[in-house]
Amino acid sequence: MTTVEPDPNTPQTQSSADSELLRTEELTRRFGSLVAVDDVNISIPRGEFHSIIGPNGAGKTTLFNMLAGTLPESDGRILFDGEEITGLSDHQRVQRGISRAYQTPQLFSGLSVLENLRLAVQSKNQSFNPIKKTDSAHEQEAIEMLEQIEFEAAPGQITENLSHGNKKKLEILMALSVDPDLLLLDEPTSGVSQADSDSLMEFISAASAERTVLLIEHNVDLVLEYSDRVTVLNRGAVISQGTPSYITQDETVQKAYMGSY
C-alpha cells in the first residue's frame, strides 16, 4: 500500500461527488507474480484533462486496458459516472461513454478513411437490420469529423497506405466519433513529428473541451502544458498526483525518473 502525499495546491474539485466521472478503488492487475498495476486509486472529475506519466513498464497501458475493458481486473473496482463498471466488456463501456485511442493505430486497413469514420459514428445508433441503407446523416457526420483536422489524404483512400501521422489522426478521430464522455488517449503523438505533435495536441485539447481526457504521454512538455492534473505511476503504483507545477517539484517523481535511466 502506497500513500501519496496530496498536492496542497490543488483545489479539491473532486470533493463534490456529482462532479466525479471516473474513480478507481484499489485497482490491481497481476500477471502471475508480477503486479503490473498495484492498488491504484484515482479520482477524475468531469471535464478534467488528466495525464498519466511514468517510466516504461510503469503499468500505464495496463491501467488503460482495464479502464477500457480489454483486460479483466484482478482486484479492485472501477466506477464511472457513479456506477460500477468493473467486469463490463469493452463494447459495453463504450456505450456508457468511455472510448479509447490505441497507441498503435487500429484501423480497418481495407476500408476507406471515410468508411472507418462512419463505422465509428454509426456505433451510437447500431442497427441489426442487415438490409438497412446507410444513413446519410452518419455519412455527413463522418465527413464533418474529417474536416475538423488537417488530413493529407482523400476521404476515399484505403487506410492501409496512409502515412503514420494520418493514421494517428484517424485513430483519434474515430475515438472521438463515438462521442465519449471520457476519452482515453494512449500516446497520441508517438512517432509524430514535433510540429505535428503540437497541432495534434491543440486539436485534442479543442475537441475535448467538453469531455474528460485521460492521456498517456511520453512528451513531458506537452503533458505539463495541457494537463489540469497529472498522475505519476512507477512499478504499477501511484507515486505522485497533482498539478503540473506540483509534479515537477516532487522529489519522489524526480527520483523515480532518475532511477529508471
Partner 1 sequence: MSNKKSNPTIGPVEFSVVDESMQVSIGRLQTNANTLLLGLGLLVLLATPAVFSGYFVGLLVVAFIYGIFAISVDLVWGYAGILSFGHAAFFGLGAYLMGVITTELSLPSIGLLGLVLAFLVPAVVGLVVAGVLFSRGISEEYFTIITLALAIVASQAALILSDVTGGSNGLTEIPPLGVEIPGVMTYIISHNQYYFVVLVALVAVFLIGKRIVQSPFGTTLVGINENETKISSLGYNPIKYKTIVFGLSTGIAGFAGALYAAYSGFISPPLLGFVLSTEVLVWVLVGGRGTLIGPVIGATALYLAENMFSGMFLNTWVLMLGLLLVVIVLVFPAGIIGVFSIIEKKINKYLKDT
Q: Which residue ranges make up the site for partner 1 (CB under 8 A)?
A: 68, 70, 89-91, 94-95, 99-100, 102, 106-112, 115, 118-120, 122-124, 126-135, 138, 154-158, 174, 178
CA atoms within 13 A on the CB side of 8: 2
In whole angstroms, how close is the CB of 211 to partner 1 at the nearest point? 16
Residue number, 39 or 135, with CB nearest to partner 1 = 135
* Separation CA 118–CA 142 (nearest Å): 5
CB 77 within 8 A of CB 24: yes
* Cα-based torsion angle of the residue sequence 50, 55, 58, 60 in order, rounded to the nearest 10 degrees: 30
In whole angstroms, how close is the CB of 139 to partner 1 at the nearest point? 10
Residue number, 46 or 96, with CB nearest to partner 1 = 96
- φ/ψ region of 129 (left if φ > 0, alpha if ψ in -120 to 50, else beta) reads beta
Read off the DSSP letter of residue 6: -
Residue number, 25 or 135, with CB nearest to partner 1 = 135
Residue number, 107 or 222, with CB nearest to partner 1 = 107
What 3-state DSSP class applies to 122?
A: helix
In whole angstroms, how close is the CB of 180 to partner 1 at the nearest point? 9
In whole angstroms, how close is the CB of 196 to partner 1 at the nearest point? 20
